[in-house]
Amino acid sequence: MTGRYVGTELELFAAATNWKTYFASVLAPFIGGRVLEAGAGIGSNIAYLRGPAVREWTSLEPDPELAQRITDRAAAGDLTTTRRVVAGTIACIAEGRQFDTILYLDVLEHVADDGAELAAAARRLAPGGHLVVLAPAHPFLYSPFDAAIGHFRRYSRASLVALAPAGCRLISQPMLDLAGFFASLANRLLLRSATPSPRQIAFWDGVLVPLSRLLDAVTGRRFGKTVVAVWQYVP
């Protein structure tokens, strides 16, 4: 995960407030203390994830232009939780610096060597800390949109679990957005769109995500278009 970000979807998905509120509610029990968000983009997740348990938030973003946008937003008071912005990769964070939570939210699929990335992240976790990954699910759904925004892959539950770093034990692996799965399947088989329109994003976020919250609860979050893995570091 280095250099300029090739995707163009950050602004589109920043408006997906229902989706961000939903996944934030699922991840909230695992987020607290000193938080590092890897691949923070333009900082659009922070407002949804900064709960009272968070003491410090570090945004790590390899694209210097995006990192500067986070810095500017923090300086303007728009991102009050952000105390530090690092323009770089996980290698820029000293291994002696420890975090209670490290987040990869729609980021790991952009990393060529995802296993090495998570291993490096785990070395920066405090004992008992959480490593949280949220990523697109189902390799068969890989579409022109995935390719256009620099995704190397989509994950199955098994392929994501297989990346568990040394010293980490899996404590949660829900799948989210069952209704969105069918929309992604339609795009893969029928539309083959490389870029969703603002109208499509609005329909997904305004109609399908609320429906998914209901369906996911009924199905026990066992199927969806997004897979989550939460590991706890227990050296």
Whole-number pLDDT of residue 82: 60
- As a whole number, mean pLDDT of residues 128-145 equals 94
In CATH, the architecture of 10-233 is 3-Layer(aba) Sandwich (3.40)
Q: Mind listing the pLDDT tens digit for each residue in 41-98?
A: 999 999 999 999 999 999 999 999 999 999 998 888 777 666 799 999 999 999 889 9
Place of tokens 């949280």: 132
- Report which of 214, 188, 228, 210 is spatially closest to residue 18, judged by C-alpha positions: 210
* Spatial distance between the Cα atoms of 95 and 44, rounded to a whole number of angstroms: 26
Instruction: Give the percent of the chain with pLDDT over 90.
Output: 75
Q: Which amino acid is at 234?
A: V
Whether the Cβ atoms of residue 137 and residue 224 lie closer than 8 Å to each other: yes
Burial degree of 132 (CB within 10 A; 0-12, 13-18, 19+): buried
pTM reported for the whole predicted model: 0.93
Confidence band for 145, pLDDT divided at 50, 70 and 90: confident
Q: Mind listing the pLDDT tens digit for each residue in 86-118?
A: 999 999 999 889 999 999 999 999 999 999 999
- DSSP code of 193? -
Tell how far CA 163 is from the center of its chain. Answer: 16
Confidence band for 196, pLDDT divided at 50, 70 and 90: confident
Domain borders along the chain are 10-233
